[in-house]
């Protein structure tokens, strides 16, 4: 619309500059000129009026037109250890960098001299080597710069530690993690960002090259605000496979702690850790056995439906009752509330492992969704203007049906809040996530499920027998 006006304007100014000849012609031109300017004014008024109405009337914000990322496909080969990283070819490829010679000091992390540069394909599929790492020292998540330098007792041509030196060297291939992206303090632990380190470490422990490897984690397992019960419980399930050494941060006067060869978990990933369905099944079944949950597929017709709800948190579903009523009407079964909490690991697992359908707000509690039954359906609801495809990647090999629902705003209050509309107009769903203040705005919105959208999605899925419900013609056929 705005472009139409601009092009009219430019036509107009070029007319203005053209030479004029003859009275009749001039008169003709003037009429034309008046008509054009009237049309322009009318168009402008219509445009302004429409913009104004947009602010007054509760019209829907445009739905996201999101960029298409590389799809997640199964990689039967799984992770392959390379000289400078470990990669799997799924979700557009995912890698974790490998470092030869790495020393942790109190004030810096050193990538020892002689380090070959990371190849482009590893940089592309990871967040590359970090420029800072985080440790619980003078401050809870103190930033420590990562630099290239000489390391004590490091031979930069053989890339091996030599005999005598002042550092404590840990030899062989190891896995090393810090506190990057792990909030501490009031926010509490974040299972999703912990899973970013812990889940791949568990998977790597199954490879022959990692037979002698441990996960060295600069974190304190006894601080409930640092690591969640969920992650500690998960590590406990796999304690025979993966040894974890919790490391205290290096003190002021202490010699550095150095690693000869380390896979580094210190960056943001796209969450596509599971290379294939077989690996996901192995992972899920080990957890379910540990927690005494029967290993079954989703019921047909659906029987167990849960809404993940955090009544005392901002990341909850504000129109919970209405969503529950719609689900019950469409699926013809009672809906249970699943409250993720600081419960024991297995009690958290059971909340979603015993469901055929899970509707959940976006949030780090969804790390737990790795355990849902094959054949189940998951609906992830986003706050308005906030979207990230993490859990889509996370569950890609889980043999589940995954649906995303874009949040709306409290329709009962009439028009969309002004600030929200401004962000919607300026950035929209597509760009909001990459603009910090918009991302934080979207992230802090309460979640309202668009009920009409939910209903039409459910009706489509039920109609196509993707969700089998009681008394429908599909469930009769399938039983």
Q: Which residues bind ligand NAG (CB under 6 A)?
A: 155, 157-158, 162, 172, 209, 211-212, 311-312, 339, 410, 413
Strand partners, 112: 149
**DSSP track, 364-394:** GGGGGGGGSPTT-EEEEEEPTT----HHHHH
Work out how close the CB of 64 gets to ligand NAG at its nearest, in angstroms, rounded to a whole number. Answer: 21
Residue among 460, 467, 464 at smallest CA distance from 300: 467
Tell me the C-alpha to C-alpha distance, in Å, between residue 386 and each of 31, 67, 138, 323, 402: 51, 14, 34, 20, 18
Work out how close the CB of 417 gets to ligand NAG at its nearest, in angstroms, rounded to a whole number. Answer: 6
Smaller CB separation from ligand NAG, 261 or 281: 261
Smaller CB separation from ligand NAG, 81 or 225: 81
Work out how close the CB of 113 gets to ligand NAG at its nearest, in angstroms, rounded to a whole number. Answer: 10
- CB neighbour class for 474 (10 Å; exposed up to 12, middle 13-18, buried from 19): middle
Residue among 386, 326, 390 at smallest CA distance from 359: 326
Smaller CB separation from ligand NAG, 161 or 233: 161
Smaller CB separation from ligand NAG, 81 or 399: 81
Work out how close the CB of 6 gets to ligand NAG at its nearest, in angstroms, rounded to a whole number. Answer: 36
Smaller CB separation from ligand NAG, 266 or 438: 438
Q: How far is residue 164's CA from residue 227's CA, in Å, rounded to a whole number? A: 36
Q: How far is residue 423's CA from residue 441's CA, in Å, rounded to a whole number? A: 9
Longest dimension (CA), the chain: 102
Work out how close the CB of 427 gets to ligand NAG at its nearest, in angstroms, rounded to a whole number. Answer: 20
Smaller CB separation from ligand NAG, 155 or 332: 155
3-state DSSP call for residue 94? strand
Work out how close the CB of 281 gets to ligand NAG at its nearest, in angstroms, rounded to a whole number. Answer: 26
Please name the residue ranges forming H helices in 205-276. Answer: 229-237
- Contacts of 236 by beta carbon, 8 Å cutoff, 6+ apart: 345
Work out how close the CB of 96 gets to ligand NAG at its nearest, in angstroms, rounded to a whole number. Answer: 18
Work out how close the CB of 210 gets to ligand NAG at its nearest, in angstroms, rounded to a whole number. Answer: 7
Smaller CB separation from ligand NAG, 119 or 410: 410
Work out how close the CB of 173 gets to ligand NAG at its nearest, in angstroms, rounded to a whole number. Answer: 7
Q: What's 72's DSSP letter?
A: P
Smaller CB separation from ligand NAG, 292 or 312: 312
Smaller CB separation from ligand NAG, 28 or 148: 148
Which is it for the CA torsion 34, 40, 44, 50, positive or negative?
A: positive
- Quick check: 457 and 319 in contact, CB under 8 A? no
Smaller CB separation from ligand NAG, 14 or 413: 413
Smaller CB separation from ligand NAG, 126 or 174: 174
Report the length, in residues, of the chain.
479
Tell me the C-alpha to C-alpha distance, in Å, between residue 314 and each of 29, 73, 293, 317: 63, 34, 30, 8
Q: How far is residue 24's CA from residue 79's CA, in Å, rounded to a whole number? A: 81
- CB neighbour class for 460 (10 Å; exposed up to 12, middle 13-18, buried from 19): exposed
Q: How far is residue 291's CA from residue 353's CA, in Å, rounded to a whole number? A: 10
Work out how close the CB of 470 gets to ligand NAG at its nearest, in angstroms, rounded to a whole number. Answer: 30
Going by their DSSP bridges, the two strands 357-361 and 142-149 should be labelled as unpaired
Work out how close the CB of 155 gets to ligand NAG at its nearest, in angstroms, rounded to a whole number. Answer: 4
- Tokens 């999605």, residue? 457
Cis omega before residue 200 (within 30°)?
no
């Amino acid at each position: 619309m705005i472009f139409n006006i601009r092009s009219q304007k430019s036509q107009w100014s070029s007319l203005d500059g053209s030479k004029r000849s003859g009275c009749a012609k001039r008169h003709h031109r003037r009429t034309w000129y008046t008509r054009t300017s009237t049309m322009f004014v009318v168009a402008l008024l219509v445009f302004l009026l429409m913009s104004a109405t947009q602010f007054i009337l509760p019209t829907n914000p445009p739905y996201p037109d999101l960029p298409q990322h590389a799809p997640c496909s199964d990689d039967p080969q799984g992770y392959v250890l390379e000289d400078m990283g470990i990669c799997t070819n799924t979700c557009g490829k995912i890698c974790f960098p490998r470092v030869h010679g790495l020393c942790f000091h109190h004030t810096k992390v050193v990538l020892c001299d002689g380090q070959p540069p990371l190849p482009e394909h590893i940089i592309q599929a990871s967040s590359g080597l970090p420029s800072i790492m985080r440790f619980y020292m003078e401050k809870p998540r103190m930033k420590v710069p990562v630099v290239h330098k000489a390391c004590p007792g490091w031979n930069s041509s053989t890339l091996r530690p030599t005999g005598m030196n002042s550092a404590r060297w840990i030899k062989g291939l190891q896995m090393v993690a810090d506190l990057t992206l792990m909030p501490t303090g009031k926010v509490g632990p974040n299972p999703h960002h912990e899973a970013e380190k812990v889940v791949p470490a568990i998977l790597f422990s199954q490879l022959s090259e990692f037979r002698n490897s441990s996960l060295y984690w600069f974190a304190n397992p006894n601080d409930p605000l640092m690591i969640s019960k969920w992650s500690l419980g998960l590590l406990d399930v796999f304690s025979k496979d993966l040894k974890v050494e919790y490391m205290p941060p290096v003190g002021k006067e202490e010699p550095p702690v150095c690693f000869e060869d380390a896979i580094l978990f210190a960056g943001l990933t796209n969450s596509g850790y599971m290379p294939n369905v077989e690996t996901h099944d192995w992972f899920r079944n080990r957890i379910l056995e540990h927690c005494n949950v029967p290993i079954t597929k989703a019921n047909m017709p659906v029987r167990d439906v849960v809404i993940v709800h955090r009544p005392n948190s901002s990341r909850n579903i504000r129109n919970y009752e209405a969503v529950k009523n719609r689900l019950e009407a469409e699926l013809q079964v009672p809906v249970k509330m699943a409250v993720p909490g600081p419960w024991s690991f297995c009690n958290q697992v059971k909340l979603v492992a015993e469901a055929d359908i899970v509707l959940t707000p976006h949030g780090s509690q969804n790390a737990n969704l790795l355990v849902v039954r094959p054949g189940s359906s998951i609906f992830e609801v986003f706050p308005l203007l906030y979207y990230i495809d993490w859990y889509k990647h996370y569950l890609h090999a889980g043999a589940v049906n995954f649906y995303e629902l874009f949040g709306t705003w409290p329709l009962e209050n009439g028009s969309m809040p002004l600030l929200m509309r401004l962000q919607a107009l300026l950035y929209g769903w597509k760009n909001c996530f990459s603009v910090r203040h918009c991302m934080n705005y979207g992230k802090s919105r309460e979640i309202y499920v668009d009920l009409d959208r939910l209903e039409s999605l459910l009706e489509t899925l039920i109609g196509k027998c993707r969700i089998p419900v009681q008394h429908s013609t599909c469930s009769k056929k399938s039983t």
